[in-house]
Amino acid sequence: MTTAAKHRVLVTGSAGRIGQAVVDALFARGHFVRGFDLVPTPRASDSIVGNIANNEAIISASRGTDTIIHLGAVPDDDDFLTKLLPNNIVPIHHILEAARLNGNQRVILASTGQLNWYQQFDGPYPIRVNDPLEPRYWYAAAKVFAEYAGKAYAMKHKIDVIAARLGACPRDRALLDYIGESEIVRDVYLSPGDAGRFFTCAVEAAGGFGFQVVYACSKWIQREVFDLEPARRLLGFEPRDRWPEGIPPEIIGDKPIPGAP
């Protein structure tokens, strides 16, 4: 179920691969989109250059919006103390506090399928949102923190918080090759187009659901690894693409795509 009301959305990490897909999809639907990133955000209604580790900057950027999509983070495992702690954990506090202080009605936190890392390879399938967590490493552990912090805020402050466990969206050629060379990872591929459609559904869905966890990926090829029924039921999300559909030409370059039919 979706609503036709137009929203005012703050997107952190808006200049990244998923961020740009989200900005474009929301803008195309007529929503006001404020981008927040270390560099200017192309095609956003409003673009703020800032650091997600800056609490006051996040609070200021979220004023006048009703929804926050938090994508900004170090995108994979890195040094915990110097990279993941300041960029992936501390900003969760800033985002949720900004939502509380400014009366944002909804926060959508980018989580990861890496929270069920070993089950992806060993089963059982499909992986459901209430299956036991098996984080891959520190990056995934930081997302566990983000999910539980989001749940606490949703319950205490009565706002809608969605933890979106995202599939694998290629941001460069190395990640594209990694996805293409693994049958399992191809089945959790998330195209930029489907990412944009998913977050648009998450913004437009009717509210009042509190805290929810959903998986988001494109269509599977060999095996349904992630259970998309919660995203379908809660948000109305249906993926359209399947590996390797929707990969931007600038990532593909002049090399063949592994695993392409």
The predicted-structure confidence for 140-153, as pLDDT tens digits, reads as follows 999 999 999 999 99
Q: Please classify residue 218 by burial: count the beta carbons closer than 10 Å to its beta carbon, then call 0-12 exposed, 13-18 middle and 19+ buried.
A: buried
The predicted-structure confidence for 117-168, as pLDDT tens digits, reads as follows 999 999 999 999 999 999 999 999 999 999 999 999 999 999 999 999 999 9
Q: Is the pTM of this model over 0.75?
A: yes
Q: What is the CATH number that goes with domain 8-171+190-217+225-241? A: 3.40.50.720
Residue ranges covered by each domain of the chain: 8-171+190-217+225-241
Residue 143 · residue 111 · CB < 8 Å: yes
Residue 210 · residue 161 · CB < 8 Å: yes
Instruction: Please report which confidence band the pLDDT of residue 4 belongs to, taking 50, 70 and 90 as the band edges.
Output: low
The predicted-structure confidence for 19-56, as pLDDT tens digits, reads as follows 999 999 999 999 999 999 999 999 999 999 999 999 99
